[in-house]
């Protein structure tokens, strides 16, 4: 089996990376950065986001596993003291793969420029470069509302515990093939009106944002920020691709939510 390891880059994560690499090579696994079967991320959820984007062109052939060197993560749930156990599990046991939904983002431009397609593991956010964001929101091809405010966040179920949660969005179990649209400080008064609640769309529903005045936007895809000019529309839906995680022991999603946000004491 071929593996690669991505580190957050701090001294603790780098030391763990080197240790795991040595142990796995001792078990006759092959280190292959370009075509790994398993990618180990050492750091935090942010490190796993980075690893995901690095290998996003071969998601069907890659399984991810995360070790956290800071606090418990949603994607990084092994602790440094468990790495020997994890190495043995990777080397010796056929692991179970669990799949989580991803967000597909298609950006189309005015004047017929080539469209751009992205996959997000957590979310995509759209903000105006200057002034209030004004966007028409369409759902399944029907006009839904004209949004005015700071921005919009469209997240995956596993990303629902990240930026989406800070916006008052719901936490969604990753077994639900869905995306969630959450508002950032919408303007609501006698003239302007938005729904004001997060919306959860099923796998077969598409959401489209269309600029009303200015066509330039700051678009984030997970940790990446991109400036898009002359934008015609941004389309969102559940992607056909999935992210695959290697599971060596049960760690139910709701337990991770509890341990991350409520308390890690049993």
φ, ψ dihedrals at 216, nearest 5°:
-110, 135
H or E element that contains 54: helix 45-54
The half-sphere exposure of 179 on its side-chain side, counting CA atoms within 13 A, is: 29
Interacting residue with ligand NAP among 45, 77, 145, 183 (CB under 6 A): 45
Interacting residue with ligand NAP among 108, 127, 223, 232 (CB under 6 A): 223
Instruction: Considering only the stretches 9-17, 32-40, 71-79, 186-194, report the one whose residues sit in contact with ligand NAP under the rule CB under 6 A.
Output: 71-79
Separation CA 99–CA 131 (nearest Å): 39
Separation CA 247–CA 54 (nearest Å): 21
Binding site: what residues are annotated? 45-46, 122-123, 148, 150, 185
Separation CA 15–CA 159 (nearest Å): 28
Choose, from 28, 32, 45, 222, the residue flagged as catalytic: 45
Interacting residue with ligand NAP among 36, 101, 157, 159 (CB under 6 A): 159
Contacts (CB under 6 A) with ligand NAP, residues 15-44: 44
Q: Is 122 in the site for ligand NAP (CB under 6 A)?
A: yes
Separation CA 147–CA 111 (nearest Å): 24
DSSP conformation class of 189 = S
Q: Is 13 in the site for ligand NAP (CB under 6 A)?
A: no
Binding site for NAD(+): what residues are annotated? 45-46, 122-123, 148, 150, 185
Nearer to ligand NAP, 3 or 163 (CB): 163
Is 45 annotated in the active site?
yes
Q: Is 77 in the site for ligand NAP (CB under 6 A)?
A: no
Q: Are 169 and 155 in contact (CB under 8 A)?
A: yes
Beta bridge partners of 4: 39
Nearer to ligand NAP, 70 or 215 (CB): 70
Q: Is 49 in the site for ligand NAP (CB under 6 A)?
A: yes
Interacting residue with ligand NAP among 38, 42, 222, 245 (CB under 6 A): 222
Q: Is 104 in the site for ligand NAP (CB under 6 A)?
A: no
The residue of the chain with the least Cβ separation from ligand NAP equals 46
DSSP 3-state of 92: helix
Count of residues of this chain found to bind ligand NAP when the rule CB under 6 A is applied: 18
Q: Is 253 in the site for ligand NAP (CB under 6 A)?
A: no
Q: Is 70 in the site for ligand NAP (CB under 6 A)?
A: yes
Beta strand segments in the chain, E: 2-7, 30-31, 38-43, 63-68, 76-78, 96-109, 116-120, 123-128, 133-139, 142-155, 178-186, 199-202, 207-211, 217-221, 224-228, 231-247
The first and second tokens of residue 266, run together, are 């049993």
Minimum CB–partner distance for residue 220 and ligand NAP (Å): 7
Nearer to ligand NAP, 73 or 149 (CB): 73
- Residue 142 makes CB contacts below 8 A (sequence gap 6+) with none
Active site residues: 45
Contact residues for ligand NAP (CB under 6 A)? 44-46, 49, 70, 73-74, 76, 122-123, 158-159, 161-163, 166, 222-223
């Amino acid at each position: 089996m071929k593996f690669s390891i991505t580190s957050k880059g701090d001294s603790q994560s780098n030391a763990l990376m080197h240790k795991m690499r040595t142990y796995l090579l001792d078990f006759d696994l092959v280190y292959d950065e370009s075509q790994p079967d398993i990618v180990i991320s050492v750091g935090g959820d942010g490190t796993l986001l980075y690893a995901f984007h690095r290998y996003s062109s071969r998601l069907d052939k890659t399984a991810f596993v995360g070790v956290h060197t800071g606090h418990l993560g949603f994607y990084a749930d092994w602790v440094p003291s468990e790495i020997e156990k994890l190495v043995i599990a990777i080397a010796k046991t056929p692991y179970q793969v669990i799949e989580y939904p991803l967000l597909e983002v298609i950006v189309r431009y005015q004047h017929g420029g080539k469209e751009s397609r992205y996959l997000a593991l957590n979310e995509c956010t759209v903000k105006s470069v200057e002034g209030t964001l004004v966007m028409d929101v369409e759902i399944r091809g029907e006009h839904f509302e004209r949004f005015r405010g700071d921005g919009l966040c469209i997240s995956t179920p596993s990303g629902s515990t990240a930026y989406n949660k800070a916006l008052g969005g719901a936490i969604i179990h990753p077994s639900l093939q869905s995306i969630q649209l959450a508002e950032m400080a919408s303007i609501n008064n006698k003239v302007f009106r938005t729904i004001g609640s997060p919306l959860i769309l099923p796998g077969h529903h598409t959401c489209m944002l269309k600029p009303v005045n200015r066509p330039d936007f700051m678009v984030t895809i997970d940790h990446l920020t991109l400036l898009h000019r002359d934008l015609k529309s941004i389309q969102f839906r559940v992607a056909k691709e999935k992210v695959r995680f290697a599971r060596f022991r049960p760690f139910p999603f709701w337990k991770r939510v509890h341990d991350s946000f409520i308390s890690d004491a049993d």
